[in-house]
Amino acid sequence: MCGIVGYTGPRQASRILVEGLKRLEYRGYDSAGIAVQADEPQTGAPLVVIKKKGKIAALRQEVPKDLPGHCGIGHTRWATHGGVSDVNAHPHTDNSGKLAVVHNGIIENYLSLKEMLEKEGAVFRSETDSEAIAHLIAYNYEGDLEAALKASLGHLKGTYGIACVHADEPGRIVGARNGSPLVLGVGDGEMLLASDVTAMLAHTKRVVYLNDGEVVSMLPHEFRVSDAEDRPIDPRIDHVAWELDAIEKEGFSCYMEKEIFEQPESIARALSGRLDGEYGCAKLGGLNLSKKELHAVERIRVIAAGTSWHAGLVGCHLFETVARIPAAAELASELRYRNPVVEPSSLYFAVSQSGETADTLYAMREIQRRGGTVLGICNVVGSTIPRESDGGVYVHSGPEIAVASTKAFTSQLAAFYLLALSFARMHDMPHHEGTRYLEQLKAVPGLVRDTLGQRDHVQAIAKRYSKAQDFLFLGRGLLYPIALEGALKLKEISYVHAEGYAAGEIKHGPIALVSPDTPSVFLVPNDHLREKTISNMKEIKARGGPVIAVAEQGDAEVMAIADEYIPIPAVDSRFQPFLMVVPLQLLAYFIALELARDVDQPRNLAKSVTVE
Ligand code: M6R
C-alpha cells in the first residue's frame, strides 16, 4: 500500500505535502515524491515534480524550502510493480509534464493500456502500472481534468486511490477511489485529500470519507463529489475524534515503544462504556442485530490477517469455552479462494486494525455475497471494513502508527472478551459469573500497567539473547495464539527467524530445531495446562535448549527450570493473554533495538496491506 496526500489553499503546498507524507510514511516508505503547480497559473507553466528513492527525509532534502506553489499532490510508496527507484516513485506525469498522478493500488490491465497508449504516442519512463493512469487521463484530456479522469476510470481494471493535478487548472485537485482509501479534508479556505486522516489532522478535523466509485474535484473553497457518470453525490462531513497528540511520539523513542506503553489506556478505552455491571454483561451498541438474531447464532467464524488473526484465534477460543458456541478463525487470504460454505446460522467477524486490509476486505465481501452476515472489529473509524460490514465494534485504540501492531491487538482482545461475555450471558452463564468476569476484565488495564514494569528486566534478557538466529515461542490453549503473536513480532521488527508453535506439537517435529543457540520462549499458564507446559519445557531443557519462561509471579517451579523468568501478575488464566503478550512485545522491541533495526518501519513491510 502507499500514502497519498493533496493540498490546495493559500499556504505553501510543498510544506504541507511533505509534512503529510511524513504522517503517512508508515503506509509505505521506499520512495516518495510531490508535484506542485507552479505559481504562475495563468501561464499554464508545467508542474514542479520532485521524486526520491528512500524515506521522506530523503525527499525533504530535495525540496527547496521556499518552493512556491499553493496546490499539489504527494505520494509515499510501497513498491508493487517496478523496483524501488527515483523514476518509479510517484507522481507520474504525461508527455507534456503538465499532468501528474499519484496512485495507491494495482492496475491489473496496465500492460494492455500501455500498449494502446504507446501507439498513441505516450512515452513511458517508469516500470510502474501507475504511469499508465497519467497517460490515459492525458489521452482523454480536453481541458477538464475531472471529465478526463471520469472518462479514464472505466478503462482501469484493479484497485485505486488516485489524485491528480493539471498545470492548466490552477488550484484544482481531482481524486477517485476504488478499493484504496481516500479522505477529503475540509479546511477553512483550503482542502486536503489523503489516504487517511493522520495526514490532515494538523489542519482540519472535518472530513469526507469517499466511497468506492466516487470522484472528488476540489478547489480551495469548494468541492464536489460525484460518480463516474457525473451524478452528484451528497457528501457527509464527519468529525475526526483523534487528537493531534495521538500521532506524536510524546517523548518515546519510537511509535512502537509509545504504543506498547499506551496499552493500559487503550484497553480501558476499548472497555469504556461497555461494561454493564447491573446485568453482568457487555453493552455493544453497534452490532445491528437483535437479541433474537444473536441468540440464534449457531457458529462463529473470524476472518483476519497477521496480528488481527491472532486476536481472532483468542476470540474463537473464548467463544467456545466461555459462550459454548463453536468458533473458528481463518486467514482471510485463504478463505476467499476456497469456495467457502456460508451457513445462514453462522455469524462472521472481520478483524482489522486498519479496516483496509485487502485480504480481509475481499473475504468479507465474498461472505456477504453468499448471504453471510459480517460484523467488523476495527480500529480506524470510517475505514472500508466498518463501512461495508453489517455492524460491529470499534476498538478505539487510537492511531497505531508503528508497523508492528501492539495496542490494537490488546484492544481487539478486549472486544472479543466483551463479545464472548455477551454470548455467554445469552446462553448458560449465570449473572454472578458474568459480574465476576466483568470485574476481572475491568482489572486488566491496571494489570497490564504492572506487567509493563518488567521493562528493564526484559531489556536485559533481550541483550543476552539478541545474537540468537532462531527463536521458538511456545504456548498452549489460549496462549498458543500469543506464542504466534510473539514470534510474528520478533520476525517482523528484528528480522530474526522465529517460530510460534503449540507447545504440545514440538515433539512432532520442531524439537529437532532445539540447540544451545535456539532459545525457547515458553508461556506458562496457571490452569490445567500448566503441568503439560512445564513438561514441554523440561523436554527442551533436556536437549540443551535455553528457556525463557513467562509465568505467574512467584512460580518457584518454573523459576527453577527456566534460564530466564519473566513474572506477570496473578490473574485468572482466562485473562492471561492480555498480560502474556506484553513481555513478548517488549522482547521483540528490545532485540530489534539491540540489532539497530528500524523498529517503526521494518524492511519490506507497510502498515496496512491494501493489495492481495
Ligand atoms: O490492519 P490489519 O489488522 O488488517 O492488518 C493485518 C496485518 O497486516 C497486520 O496485523 C500485520 O500482521 C502487522 N504488521 C503485525 O504486527
Q: For 69-129, give the DSSP string.
A: -SEEEEEEE--SSS-SSTTTSSPEE-TTS-EEEEEES-BTTHHHHHHHHHHTT----SS-S
Q: Encode burial over 73-103: b for 16+ CB neighbours within 10 A, e otherwise.
A: bbbbbbbbbbeebeebbbbbbbbeebbbbbb
Where among 429, 460, 481 does a domain terminate?
Answer: 429
CATH number assigned to the domain comprising residue 294: 3.40.50.10490
Does the pLDDT value for residue 610 go beyond 80? no
Ranges 41-45, 96-100, 132-136, 538-542: which has the least confidence: 41-45
Do the strands 564-568 and 547-552 form a parallel or antiparallel pair, or are they unpaired?
parallel
Q: Quick one: average pLDDT of 115-135?
A: 96
Whether residue 192 is found in the same domain as residue 147: yes
Does the pLDDT value for residue 360 go beyond 80? yes
State whether the beta carbon of 357 lies less than 6 angstroms from ligand 1.
yes
Is residue 394 within 8 Å of 381, Cβ to Cβ? yes
Where among 200, 217, 240 does a domain terminate?
Answer: 240
The three three-digit cell numbers of residue 602, written as one number: 521494518
Q: Quick one: average pLDDT of 96-107?
A: 95
- Which of 27, 405, 610 has the most ligand 1 atoms within 8 A of CB, as the residue to mutate? 405
- Tell me the helix, strand and coil percentages in the chain, rounded to 5: 40, 20, 40
Chain segment 239-282, per-residue pLDDT in tens: 998 888 888 888 899 999 999 999 999 999 999 999 999 999 99
Is 440 inside a domain boundary? no
Is residue 541 within 8 Å of 526, Cβ to Cβ? no
Whether residue 398 is found in the same domain as residue 518: no
Q: Is the dihedral of CA 60, 63, 64, 65 positive or negative?
A: negative
Q: Quick one: average pLDDT of 3-17?
A: 97
Chain segment 163-202, per-residue pLDDT in tens: 999 999 999 999 999 988 899 999 999 999 999 999 999 9
Q: Is 54 helix (H, G, I), strand (E, B) or coil?
A: coil
Q: Catalytic: which of 2, 164, 254, 316? A: 2
Q: Which of 94, 51, 110, 106 shows the shortest CA–CA distance to 76?
A: 51
Is 439 inside a domain boundary? no
State whether the beta carbon of 126 lies less than 6 angstroms from ligand 1.
no
Is 563 inside a domain boundary? yes
Does the pLDDT value for residue 41 go beyond 70? no
- Ligand 1 atom with least separation from CA of 404: 16
Whether residue 338 is found in the same domain as residue 214: no
State whether the beta carbon of 204 lies less than 6 angstroms from ligand 1.
no
| Chain mean position to CA 424 | 30
Whether residue 190 is found in the same domain as residue 268: no
State the chain's mean pLDDT as an integer: 95
Whether residue 65 is found in the same domain as residue 209: yes
Question: Is position 2 annotated as part of the catalytic site?
Answer: yes
Residue 40: pLDDT band by 50, 70, 90 thresholds? low
Whether residue 405 is found in the same domain as residue 282: yes
Whether residue 266 is found in the same domain as residue 390: yes
Task: Determine the distance separating the centroid of ligand 1 and the alpha carbon of 377, expressed in angstroms.
Answer: 13
State whether the beta carbon of 550 lies less than 6 angstroms from ligand 1.
no
Q: Encode burial over 148-168: b for 16+ CB neighbours within 10 A, e otherwise.
A: bbbbbbebbebbbbbbbbbbb
Does the pLDDT value for residue 31 go beyond 90? yes
- Ligand 1 atom with least separation from CA of 380: 1
Chain segment 65-86, per-residue pLDDT in tens: 999 999 999 999 988 888 889 9
| CA dist 214 → 72, 92, 453, 597 (Å) | 20, 22, 49, 40
Is residue 433 within 8 Å of 280, Cβ to Cβ? yes
Is 606 inside a domain boundary? no
Whether residue 273 is found in the same domain as residue 226: no
Question: Is position 378 annotated as part of the catalytic site?
Answer: no
The reported pLDDT for the residue numbered 14 is 97
State whether the beta carbon of 305 lies less than 6 angstroms from ligand 1.
yes
Is 496 inside a domain boundary? yes
CATH number assigned to the domain comprising residue 119: 3.60.20.10
Q: Which of 50, 1, 3, 32 shows the shortest CA–CA distance to 163?
A: 3
Does the pLDDT value for residue 42 go beyond 80? no
The reported pLDDT for the residue numbered 46 is 83
Percent residues over pLDDT 70 in the chain: 99
Do the strands 160-166 and 222-227 form a parallel or antiparallel pair, or are they unpaired?
unpaired
Tell if the pTM clears 0.85, that is, is over it. Answer: yes
- Ligand 1 atom with least separation from CA of 489: 16
The reported pLDDT for the residue numbered 387 is 92
Is residue 352 within 8 Å of 381, Cβ to Cβ? no
Does the pLDDT value for residue 1 go beyond 80? no
State whether the beta carbon of 386 lies less than 6 angstroms from ligand 1.
no
List the domain range (segments joined by +) for residue 289.
252-429
The number of folded domains in the chain is: 3
Whether residue 214 is found in the same domain as residue 266: no
The reported pLDDT for the residue numbered 44 is 52
- Which of 330, 331, 352, 353 has the most ligand 1 atoms within 8 A of CB, as the residue to mutate? 353
- Ligand 1 atom with least separation from CA of 608: 1
Whether residue 395 is found in the same domain as residue 483: no
Is 420 inside a domain boundary? yes
State whether the beta carbon of 518 lies less than 6 angstroms from ligand 1.
no
State whether the beta carbon of 352 lies less than 6 angstroms from ligand 1.
yes
Q: Quick one: average pLDDT of 544-563?
A: 97
**CA gap 44, 241 in Å, rounded:** 40
Residue type, 384: T
Task: Determine the distance separating the centroid of ligand 1 and the alpha carbon of 409, expressed in angstroms.
Answer: 9
Does the pLDDT value for residue 505 go beyond 60? yes
State whether the beta carbon of 601 lies less than 6 angstroms from ligand 1.
no
Whether residue 422 is found in the same domain as residue 570: no
The reported pLDDT for the residue numbered 82 is 82
Does the pLDDT value for residue 463 go beyond 60? yes
State whether the beta carbon of 306 lies less than 6 angstroms from ligand 1.
yes
- Which of 307, 352, 482 has the most ligand 1 atoms within 8 A of CB, as the residue to mutate? 307
Residue 158: pLDDT band by 50, 70, 90 thresholds? very high
Is 527 inside a domain boundary? yes
Whether residue 293 is found in the same domain as residue 221: no
Take atom 12 of ligand 1 and give the residue whose Cα is closest.
Answer: 306
Is 443 inside a domain boundary? no
Where among 380, 395, 429 does a domain terminate?
Answer: 429
The reported pLDDT for the residue numbered 612 is 75
The reported pLDDT for the residue numbered 378 is 97
The reported pLDDT for the residue numbered 498 is 97
